[in-house]
Amino acid sequence: MQSAPARSSGRSVYVREMFARIAPRYDAANRVLTAGLDEAWRLRAIRLLAPPSGGSVLDLCCGTGDVVFHLLRTDPTLRVTGVDFCAPMLARAQERAAREARGAAGFIEGDVSELPFAESSFDGATMAFSLRNVVDIDAVLEEALRVLRPGARFVNLDVGKPPNRAWRRLFNLYFYGVVPLLGGLVGGSRQAYTYLPSSLTHHPDAVHLRERFERAGFIHAEYVPLMGGAITIHVGTRPT
């Protein structure tokens, strides 16, 4: 595993240390908290990415590698690189690569707001459940755009804000009330699973996030709501 210097602010240090604490039980907690549905959402995001066979894909904030391994299961000819700034999460990804990766998976320790890659390096980029956690969303979107080849897509999967009021109230009860309790039990840190939902509070809603994609320079920016908007996949394309 290679490493690049990480940009450090108070919040990013806090986020990195929090993920280091929950890394050992992160995968199990995900499956429980989403009732296993996160696997289907990741596959949907990969279908929207539609990377070319044999192409190179970058997974930003790869964590323990869920999207990386799904990409390789979907198409073993891909070359997939995961970047994350939390060494214990990457260590889990490396262990999993030894066990379950069929193709070429590489992991790099680094900050996604300063990607250690040259311009136009990748045929596609993904990010899952992470944009809420970064300090500077616009810097990350600009970096994703920079490292993509012209015509390549960036797909971002994350928790969203359901537009329907009744459904939003119900979802918020689960997300802000049940997730901290269940996450504390299964994930091992109630504090972390209280922070994670709260990171949605100041995150832009789907329409505004699409605008941020456009402002960063993506074209054909759109989003696909899943679960009535509780989960959202944003897609943008680097202009040719």
Ligand X SMILES: C[S@@+](CC[C@H](N)C(=O)[O-])C[C@H]1O[C@@H](n2cnc3c(N)ncnc32)[C@H](O)[C@@H]1O
- In degrees to the nearest 10, what's the CA dihedral of 78, 84, 88, 90? 10
The correct pick among 86, 93, 147, 216 for binding ligand X (CB under 6 A) is 86
| Separation of alpha carbons 4 and 117, rounded Å | 10
Q: Which stretch binds ligand X (CB under 6 A): 82-90, 98-106, 117-125, 142-150?
A: 82-90
Find the residue with minimal CB distance to ligand X.
63
- Site membership for ligand X, residue 130 (CB under 6 A): yes
Q: How far is the CB of 240 from ligand X (least distance, A)?
A: 28
81 near ligand X (CB under 6 A): no
Q: Work out whether 66 is an interface residue with ligand X (CB under 6 A).
A: yes
Exactly one of 58, 67, 93, 206 binds ligand X (CB under 6 A); which one? 67
Residue 24: which of 102, 93, 101 has the closest Cα? Answer: 93
Q: What is the DSSP string of 103-127?
A: SEEEEEE--TTS-SS-TT-EEEEEE
- Encoded one letter per residue, x for contact with ligand X by CB under 6 A and - for no contact, window 14-53 reads -xx--x----------------------------------
Closest among 223, 224, 225 to 162, alpha carbons compared: 225
Q: Output the smallest distance, CB 176 to ligand X, in A.
A: 16
CA-only gyration radius of the chain, Å: 17
Q: Residue 42, Cα to own-chain centre: how many angstroms?
A: 10
Q: Which residues bind ligand X (CB under 6 A)?
A: 12, 15-16, 19, 61-63, 66-67, 84-86, 89, 111-113, 128-130, 133-134
